[in-house]
Amino acid sequence: MSSPQPTPVKKIPIHLQSSQSRLYIKRGQVVNHDSTFAADIYIEDGIIKWVGPSGEFVVPGGVRVIDAANRLILPGGIDPHTHMQLPFGGAVAVDDFYQGTKAAIAGGTTTIIDFVLPNKGQSLLEAYDQWRAWADPKVCCDYGLHVGVTWWSKSVRDEMRILCAERGVNSFKMFMAYKGLYQLDDSDLYDAFEACRDLGAVAQVHAENGSIIAKNAAKLLAAGVNGPEGHELSRSEEVEAEAVNRACIIAHQVKVPIYITRMTSKLAAETVARARLRGIIAYGEALAGAIGTNLHGIKPTQAIYYTTSPPIRADPEAPHFLLKTLASGHLQTTGSDNCTFNKEHKELGKKDFTKIPNGVNGVEDRMSVVWERGVEARILSPQKFVAITSTNAAKIFNMYPRKGRIAVGSDADIVVWNPEATRVISAKTHYQACDFNIFEGMKCHGVPEIVIVRGKVCVENGQVRVAEGQGQFIETPVYPSYVYKPLNGNSNGDEADNEDHENGDDKNGAIEELEIEIPPIEPITKYLAGPALSITSETKSTAQSITGANRAPRQDGQRNMQDSTFSLSEELDKTGPRATIKVRNPPGGKSTGFW
Ligand code: URQ
Ligand code: ZN
């Protein structure tokens, strides 16, 4: 089958080329993932040409000088998970590639990686060309593309090879949820993972058990539980964690690096940590929305607007736990999964939660939210912040050090960050197209005062100045060493991280001994009783009849293992408030795999 010609490399039209091609940033404090140092930076034609002590570089005439005294100089954020203008759930995401990337830049993110999502049966190459046609004329920052494997056949395998060899793709996402739309069964997951390994690509999953979700949703709807509370009730933490575990096991059997996208729960994060501690080459992304907010106390009338999958949880401890696992190095990135719909679109599902288009905002606020919840709260060091909002994504998807680092030769994607300044997030002032913001009213320390996109100053003095189409498609080569070296039992060349780890630079984060509290796995009934969704009494009794929560234990006092609410954790509960395991990374740093 002859593949359509690759999309020609885009030339930047002269009117979009920056008139200011030379910049000098002085007196700032550079923060990379592995080091923090005072330095000046000289930029020419979009590339960092010099980094060094103030006063050493003679600034040529006609160069614009930016004084960054008392500011941090960060690598531009990289958001590895966005869905601009995605057609989904009977609507189209309202942030398109222009407004969505403009908003990204406003928040300090200078590279996004979006998803090509073919319909079942559709050619992956055809879908890829569609996404390029949507994105290339509109993007304001550089972007990469992951490709969804939403169905399986030999032709899909063939097209994956062409996407890697000729279209600059190095990662594929398989869905374990969205039964009938994108979901693959275990056998197809196995084959798709094998294809990724044979190509040197990263296998990603959307980890939820879509078959359980379909069953739960049908039962809840049949019982008259059709409001937004049904969304989370149909896909609780363990339904997410089960898929996380299954994906790690299949990846381990196939010997491919696995990347779990946008996790929202403690149990999912803990599952990845356990897999990594067993030597499975797994990487995890935490959802920015699950770090910045939770559904505890959200009024039911508002819950519909927070609908995303996996759900943002009602568990008030989830944000802290996700940050702890990011700080400890067991999760690596933060993604926004930005897939925004307006209230009117979300309300399509007012009477049937399965009809609510899934997705929330995050691309604009991810950096400030992670800074506020992580660094301001002393859970993350500034270096770890850089790692999880930029560098790790660059390494995993093979853009590093072109992206994700302040260094000579790197793209001049730079944020002048004011850690003391604060801003209040609101849909009234955000640059995103959506009319709702899940972080509404949140006050964040950490403001991107100047954002430079490949050498062009796009944010300054509170103004965002971008040109539609100024961004470029970033080809991502296969065999990223960061994930493929450990697969072959070598270190991933990330000694610096270990140094960072050893010399205590990362005081607030990485710890030699990762203490994982095994939180009780709350049965579905937890949410029936909790204030989070303020279930009405009839919903509660109905849902309890579904979940059997009020079923009395059997005469012999034993809980019925078949009882849908039976949960091992309830036994754990009886053995004390919290079971914890202390695990020590093997001597010489984290496990590098044992296959
Ligand atoms: O599942 C995804 O990643 C897409 C469809 C965005 N929506 C969502 O709720 N995560
Ligand atoms: Zn997504």
> Measured in angstroms, how far is the CA atom of residue 88 from the centroid of ligand 1?
9
CA-CA distance, 454 to 43, in Å (whole number)? 9
Instruction: Name the residue of 79, 81, 83, 184 whose CB sits within 8 Å of the most ligand 1 atoms, as the mutation to test its pocket.
Output: 83
309 lines ligand 1 (CB under 6 A): yes
For residue 55, what pLDDT is reported?
86
- The per-residue pLDDT for 520 is 41
CB 573 within 8 A of CB 520: yes
Is residue 220 within 8 A of residue 542, CB to CB? The reply is: no
CB 107 within 8 A of CB 368: yes
What DSSP element (H or E) covers 261?
Answer: strand 258-263
Whether 233 is in the pocket of ligand 1, judged by its Cβ within 6 Å, is: no
CA 591 to ligand 2 center in whole angstroms: 29
Strands 22-31 and 64-67: parallel
Expressed in angstroms and rounded, the spacing between residue 16 Cα and the centre of ligand 1 is 33
CA 309 to ligand 1: nearest atom: 9
Position in ligand 1 atom list of the atom nearest CA 89: 5
Q: What Cα–Cα distance (Å) separates residue 64 from each residue in 60, 286, 464, 466?
A: 10, 38, 18, 18
Confidence (pLDDT) at 491: 66
Cα 415 to middle of ligand 1, angstroms: 28
Q: How far apart are CA 420 and CA 438, in angstroms?
A: 23
In a mutational test of the pocket of ligand 1, which residue from 85, 88, 115 has the highest number of ligand atoms less than 8 Å from its CB? 88
Distance 83 CA to ligand 1 centre (A): 8
Q: Could you write out the three-class secondary structure of 14-39? A: HHHCCCCCEEEEEEEEEECCCCEEEE
Q: Is 358 in the pocket of ligand 1 (CB under 6 A)?
A: yes
User: Within 13 Å, how many C-alpha atoms sit on residue 283's CB side?
Assistant: 25
The residues with which 518 forms a beta bridge, in sequence order, are 579
Residue 4: other Cβ atoms inside 10 A: 11
Read off φ and ψ for residue 424, nearest 5 degrees.
-105, 125
For ligand 1, atom 8, name the residue with the nearest CA: 359
Mutate to test the pocket of ligand 1, among 175, 287, 337, 346 (most ligand atoms within 8 A of CB): 337
Burial class (CB in 10 A: 0-12, 13-18, 19+), 47: middle
570 token code pair: 């309830």
Residue nearest to atom 1 of ligand 1 (CA): 309
Question: Closest-lying ligand to the alpha carbon of 240?
Answer: 1
The residue whose CB lies within 8 Å of the most ligand 1 atoms, and thus the one to mutate among 116, 147, 358, is 358
Instruction: Using the mean position of ligand 1's atoms as its centre, give its distance from the Cα of residue 453 in Å.
Output: 27
Return per-residue pLDDT of the chain as tens, 595 residues: 445 455 455 555 544 444 458 999 999 999 999 999 999 999 999 999 999 999 899 998 889 999 999 999 999 999 999 999 999 988 999 999 999 999 999 999 999 999 999 999 999 999 999 999 999 999 999 999 999 999 999 999 999 999 999 999 999 999 999 999 999 999 999 999 999 999 999 999 999 999 999 999 999 999 999 999 999 999 999 999 999 999 999 999 999 999 999 999 999 999 999 999 999 999 999 999 999 999 998 887 899 999 999 999 999 999 999 999 999 999 999 999 999 999 999 999 999 999 999 999 999 999 999 999 999 999 999 999 999 999 999 999 999 999 999 999 999 999 999 999 999 999 999 999 999 999 999 999 999 999 999 999 999 999 999 999 999 999 999 999 999 998 877 766 554 343 333 333 333 333 334 455 443 433 333 333 333 333 345 544 554 454 343 434 334 434 343 333 333 223 223 333 333 444 444 333 444 433 3
Q: Describe the crossing of helices 237-254 and 266-277 by its angle, rounded to 10 degrees.
A: 20
- Rounded CA gap, 450 and 452, in Å? 7
Instruction: Indicate if ligand 1 lies below 6 Å from the C-beta of 339.
Output: yes
Ligand 1 centroid–CA 175 distance in Å is 10
Pocket test of ligand 1: the residue of 206, 307, 353, 363 to mutate, having most ligand atoms within 8 Å of its CB, is 206
H or E element at residue 417: strand 414-424
Cα 498 to averaged position of ligand 2 atoms, centre (Å): 31
Q: What angle do CA 502, 508, 510 make, to 5 degrees?
A: 45
Q: Is 88 in the pocket of ligand 1 (CB under 6 A)?
A: yes
Q: Is 489 left (phi over 0), alpha (psi -120 to 50) or beta?
A: left
Measured CA to CA, the distance from residue 257 to residue 250 in angstroms comes to: 10
- H and E: helices and strands count for the chain: 20, 21
- For ligand 1, say whether the CB of 470 is within 6 Å of any of its atoms: no
**From CA 262, how far away is CA 296, in angstroms rounded?**
19
Whose CA is closest to atom 3 on ligand 1? 337
Question: For atom 10 of ligand 1, which residue has the closest CA?
Answer: 309
3-state helix, strand, coil in the chain (%, to 5): 35, 20, 45
Beta partners for 335? Answer: 287
pLDDT value of residue 537: 53
* The pLDDT of residue 558: 41
Residue 337, ligand 1, Cβ within 6 A: yes
Q: Whose CA is nearest to atom 6 of ligand 1?
A: 359
| Alpha-carbon span 162 to 283, nearest angstrom | 25
